[in-house]
């Protein structure tokens, strides 16, 4: 029996990395997935890769009008939502002395404001008993150099999950967080680092992971599937670290 048979799932940032791996897994478990992203060509390619039970809707999560457009289209096509995976996010690094207003506003605008309104605007369509999953990060509890603003956004995400778990309890909506460790996705190519810096960063970070390697997007997707499905029916408000043991030891 498929775990998400007949479910409608919205996955922001579903055209790449963790979001795409999750969309593929959800679809293989019987869900119809609505994926979003800013880049139309990547969105079209992802929809083609996932197959007939996928729909792509272009938009920027930090632009509220785009979220309104997303949910208007979801309402038209499906009438309701069962699962929201608020996954879209960016990572750019800057040590304290180099943090600019632009850096701060951009990362908080996407990772925090975008995520919060992704959920707020989904609520009228989300069924009672539905599931919300936030993508945070293992760095929500670590103090890695250069990660100040990014880590703070991910700690804010974790915090929202606590409050929303309480606020949505009457509707039996479960809110949970997945916090990946370092995962092999295109995110590292978008950090503004040189290839050498990426290699050094990768080698250094892998040494901090007890399992000694980067994770794969599919390994995060499995955890998101658990939190999205009835397998986790008594799990609410948790932060599930899928990080090779990085935070636990
Ligand atoms: P990725 O491959 O770069 O995917 C990021 C996704 O987010 C893309 O689909 C991107 O599509 C979308 N996105 C970015 N900004 C957006 C915006 N303003 N509006 C709508 N969509 C937007 O990276 P990833 O590693 O899979 O990252 C996914 C999530 O995992 C992020 O929240 C990230 O912080 C988190 N995470 C990643 C790691 C890791 O090591 N990879 C670790 C911990 C947490 P467009 O560019 O087309 O908009």
Q: In CATH, which superfamily holds the domain spanning 8-240?
A: NAD(P)-binding Rossmann-like Domain (3.40.50.720)
The CA distance from 107 to 94, in Å, is 11
Best residue for ligand 1 mutational test, from 25, 89, 114, 242 (most atoms within 8 Å of Cβ):
89
CA distances from residue 62 to 41, 128, 208, 246 in whole angstroms, order as listed: 20, 26, 32, 30
**Which residue's CA is the closest to the ligand 1 atom numbered 33?**
89
The full length of the chain comes to 249
* 10, 36 contact by CB (below 8 A): yes
Q: Residues with catalytic annotation?
A: 150
In 3D, which of 167, 181, 98, 94 has the Cα closest to residue 137? Answer: 181
Each domain of the chain, given as residue ranges in start order, spans 8-240
By 3-state DSSP, what share of the chain in percent is helix, strand and coil, each rounded to 5? 50, 20, 35
Pocket test residue of 37, 65, 108 for ligand 1, highest count of atoms within 8 A of CB? 37
pLDDT per residue, tens digit, the chain (249 aa), is: 799 999 999 999 999 999 999 999 999 999 999 999 999 999 999 999 999 999 999 999 999 999 999 999 999 999 999 999 999 999 999 999 999 999 999 999 999 999 999 999 999 999 999 999 999 999 999 999 999 999 999 999 999 999 999 999 999 999 999 999 999 999 999 988 888 888 888 888 889 999 999 999 999 999 999 999 999 999 999 999 999 999 999
Quickly list DSSP for 157-202. Answer: HHHHHHHHHHHTGGGT-EEEEEEE-SB-SGGGGGSS--HHHHHHHH
Query: Which residue's C-alpha comes closest to atom 23 of ligand 1?
Result: 187
30 Cα: distance to centroid of ligand 1 (angstroms): 24
215 DSSP 8-state letter = B
Query: d(Cα 2, Cα 5) in Å, to the nearest integer?
Result: 5
Query: How far, in Å, CA of 163 to CA of 43, rounded?
Result: 32
């Amino acid at each position: 029996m498929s775990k998400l048979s007949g479910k409608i799932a919205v996955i922001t940032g579903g055209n790449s990395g963790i979001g795409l791996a999750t969309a593929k897994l959800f679809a293989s478990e019987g869900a119809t997935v609505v994926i979003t992203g800013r880049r139309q060509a990547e969105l079209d390619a992802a929809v083609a890769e996932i197959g007939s039970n996928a729909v792509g809707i272009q938009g920027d999560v930090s632009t509220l009008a785009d979220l309104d457009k997303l949910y208007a289209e979801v309402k038209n096509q499906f009438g309701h939502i069962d699962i929201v995976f608020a996954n879209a996010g960016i990572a750019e690094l800057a040590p304290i002395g180099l943090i600019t207003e632009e850096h701060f506003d951009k990362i908080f605008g996407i990772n925090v404001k975008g995520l919060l309104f992704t959920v707020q605007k989904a609520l009228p369509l989300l069924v009672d008993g539905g599931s919300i999953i936030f993508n945070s990060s293992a760095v929500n509890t670590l103090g890695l150099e250069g990660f100040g603003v990014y880590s703070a956004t991910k700690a804010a995400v974790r915090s929202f999950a606590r409050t929303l778990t309480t606020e949505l309890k009457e509707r039996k909506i479960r809110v949970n967080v997945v916090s990946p460790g370092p995962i092999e996705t295109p995110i590292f190519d978008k950090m503004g680092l040189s290839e050498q810096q990426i290699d050094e960063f990768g080698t250094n970070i892998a040494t901090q992971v007890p399992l000694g390697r980067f994770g794969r997007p599919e390994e995060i997707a499995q955890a998101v599937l658990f939190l999205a499905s009835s397998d986790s029916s008594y799990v609410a408000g948790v932060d599930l670290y899928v990080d090779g043991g990085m935070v636990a030891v």
